[in-house]
Amino acid sequence: MKFSSKLIVWFSVLSIYVASLSTWINWSYFSSKGEAQQLSVDINSTYLNILKLKNISNNFFTLETRSNNYFKTTHSPFLIESNNQNILLNNEIDNLLDQYKRSEHINTPLLQIKQNLYKRDSIFKTLTTLATERGFKDFGLIGQMRFHAHQLEKNRHINKEALLSLRRREKDYFLRHEKQYISTFDSIYNTLAKNLTTKTNQLTKDHLEGYQQCFNKIVTIDDKLGLYDNSGLKENLDQLDELLEERVTSLIEFVKINNTKKIIQLRKTLFFIIAFAILICFFISNILSSQITKPLTKLTYFIESIILNDFKSLPKINLIKGTRETNILYREFSQMIEDLKSHEKERENLITQLTYSEKKYRNMAQKLPLSIFETDKRGTLVYVNKMWENSFGYSKSEAEYQLNIFKITAKNKNKKNEVIAHKKDASWFPGLLYMDKVLINGEHKGWRGVIVDISERYEYNKLLKEERRKAKESDRLKTAFLANISHEIRTPLNAIMGFSTLLKNKNFTEDEKQRYYDVIVKSSKDLLSSFDDIISVSRIETDNNPPQLQITNLKELEENILNTAKKQTQNLNKNHLKIYYHKGNENYISDIIIDKNKVTEILTRLSENAIKFTETGTIEIGHTLLKTRIIFFVKDSGIGIPEEKHQIIFDPFRQVDETNTKTTGGTGLGLSICKGLVDKMNGTIWVESMSQKGSGFFFSINFTIPQSQSSGIMNFNRSHKMSKQIFS
């Protein structure tokens, strides 16, 4: 076989070998990638189904526990859907366990998730059983308790006022779920029970005992459920939901990392196979080249002689069956000299281009938004780019050959590749560190890497957590509002219904009847007030019309507000309170242009609040004029507002202290309505108060002066500074 044929055979076999191995590596790569992607899809599906299961549970407790239809039939589509979702999740996890039973890192978390799902299902079923037993309206324990209560209300042997007080404690407990109402309930119950001692009162006693037993059972079930505090079965269910989400998320992250490692390993394998093939080629080439050099040695002498003779003469040489080829080489050698000159010029051009490219890429490295660095093997910096200087605050001369990368960065143990980078000014920033060894001829010479500033990501995560906290707080406030408004509506309704029923009894005296009539009238007014607040909130939210400006006489406004405030004191039996209006600098200006209706409503609500929360002392209502704005205020000497509550009292559904609202009532919308009205007039509202030292509510709006009062503008401008002093 000729030499060229051998050469072709050797390289063909080697090429087939390398191609086969490369094909196998590529097949393994795409197979592993596809398997990992399918696993990620399956685990993400499980994660979404867990979130759906959590949503179904929340819908059951939010909707079905207040549904008459559910307590009539004890059948709920949410329970059926929850059961189906549990079966689906268990089937998915069983399939994953069967598919990856050899992978302990995947199998173990899946088993833990399955155990948590089983435990969660058990807690959920217990919760639904207790909620069903507790009942709603005419069903369950609540239904039995209402039955006994209605029987007691019809009975003439029991003290009606004490019974009404007992029912109020019941409603207070259901609304606020505080233990103090249980003891108050028991105390009133014991008083009622002592007054029922004769045999004729046995049926009444039975109903009273039944009423008390149902109430105690409901309290016990509420403690077990833990729906109104951070304990009980509901809290356990929420914790399990969070644990399930955390474990599935961790598993998804693990699958991603594991897939990346597999891909890197396959790439390394392909690299080593190709490197091995190259080494074999090099070895074979050496063997074959040694066979080629023998017949070419004489050609080398010929070329050397040409060089020694400065290419002027061609010495005679006897070539082995190669005279023709040697002559060809001679002719080609002359051409080669010319080609070398041309190639040298091209080489110089290439060097120039390479120098330009190197400078260009160095400039790019300087402008990249990454802190690029290089160190020796001990970690001492030998190169930093401009971004590194800006991030750490050190100049190039202060950093290179002066600082150690391992001393100015500290690893975050909880997160891979994350470090705390210390700046020159002693501050720090979070970063991601990616670093590789610098190897020269297999010897470790140093490190080369980048640091990515992730401060914005940290800030984003903080904002995300804060938004989640606000969303949860909003949900909690809406729930509290619904409970409070339900109480504010049902309490007067119960009083109206109760006393209306009592008035059917003709045995009452006229004084008693009048007293019952007064209670019915007061309850009707309270109910109407609650509806007015709700309508006002809706009207403010939907009203896009500009303020209805009109000429307003300040003295007339003063008289209207004072008359309204005095009527409020009479309605609340607080005629002893002193109310007066602080007159501003209206000696110069008597009429202004403002939205009179909104201002009147705001001052009325603020004065009503002041009267409601002030037992003794004075209430001051007034205004002061500035250049283009008027500030109205209402001050009182009442219970005051703690400083930490100043930021929340204008939010919807928020009240300063639940213990006050238990006696004074209210929906918690009054100040929110005031703020909404002030905002509609492009004004501002604020409070100045301390606990037990009274409160002052202020709001400021723009105003204009009618042309008829232009003569008083100059005097007004001279006096507005004095008005500020009076206001303060």
Pick the closest to residue 179 from 189, 192, 169 (CA basis). Answer: 169
Q: How many CA atoms lie within 13 A of 276 on its CB side?
A: 10
Per residue in 184-219, pLDDT (tens digit) is 888 888 888 887 766 557 888 888 888 888 988 888
Tell me if residue 689 falls in helix, strand or coil.
strand
pLDDT confidence of residue 494: 77
Q: Is the separation of the CB atoms in 412 and 418 below 8 Å?
A: yes
CATH of domain 368-453: 3.30.450.20
Mean pLDDT along residues 141-163 = 84
Per residue in 499-523, pLDDT (tens digit) is 787 777 767 777 877 887 877 887 7
> Per CATH, the architecture of 3-132+238-266 is what?
Up-down Bundle (1.20)
Domain with CATH 1.10.287.130 in the chain: 474-540
Per residue in 402-442, pLDDT (tens digit) is 888 888 888 877 777 888 888 888 888 888 888 898 898 88
| Model confidence at 653: pLDDT above 70 | no
Cα 621 to Cα 328, 561, 636, 690, distances in angstroms: 118, 8, 9, 19
Per residue in 697-710, pLDDT (tens digit) is 999 999 998 877 66
The residues pairing with 591 across neighbouring beta strands, listed in sequence order, are 553
Domain with CATH 3.30.565.10 in the chain: 545-727
For residues 367 and 126, the model is more confident at 126
Q: Which residues, 6+ apart, have CB-to-CB distance to 9 below 8 Å?
A: 1
| Model confidence at 585: pLDDT above 70 | no
Per residue in 36-92, pLDDT (tens digit) is 677 778 788 888 888 888 888 888 878 877 888 888 888 888 888 888 888 888 888
Pick the closest to residue 127 from 175, 182, 56, 180 (CA basis). Answer: 56
> pLDDT band at residue 651, thresholds of 50, 70 and 90?
confident
Selection from 242-256, 258-272, 690-704 with the highest mean pLDDT: 690-704
Note the maximum CA span of the chain.
154
Q: pLDDT exceeding 70 applies to what percent of the chain?
A: 78
d(Cα 563, Cα 574) in Å, to the nearest integer?
14
Tell me if residue 312 falls in helix, strand or coil.
coil
CATH of domain 545-727: 3.30.565.10
d(Cα 706, Cα 703) in Å, to the nearest integer?
10
pLDDT confidence of residue 721: 45
d(Cα 179, Cα 74) in Å, to the nearest integer?
30
d(Cα 285, Cα 332) in Å, to the nearest integer?
25
pLDDT confidence of residue 82: 85
Q: Could you tell me how many helices (H) and strands (E) the chain has, helices first?
A: 19, 13
| Model confidence at 559: pLDDT above 80 | yes
pLDDT confidence of residue 595: 92
d(Cα 196, Cα 209) in Å, to the nearest integer?
11
> pLDDT band at residue 728, thresholds of 50, 70 and 90?
very low
Mean pLDDT along residues 142-146 = 87
pLDDT confidence of residue 340: 57
The one-letter code for the residue type at 4 is S
pLDDT confidence of residue 506: 67
| Model confidence at 686: pLDDT above 90 | yes
Q: Is the separation of the CB atoms in 712 and 588 below 8 Å?
A: yes
Q: Tell me which of 13-17, 86-90, 249-253, 561-565 is least confident.
A: 13-17
pLDDT confidence of residue 174: 81
User: Which residue has 């016990």 as its token pair?
Assistant: 220
pLDDT confidence of residue 629: 92
Give the single-character DSSP code of 709.
G
pLDDT confidence of residue 725: 35
Q: Which residues, 6+ apart, have CB-to-CB distance to 333 below 8 Å?
A: 303, 306
d(Cα 631, Cα 628) in Å, to the nearest integer?
10
CATH of domain 474-540: 1.10.287.130
Residues in the chain: 728
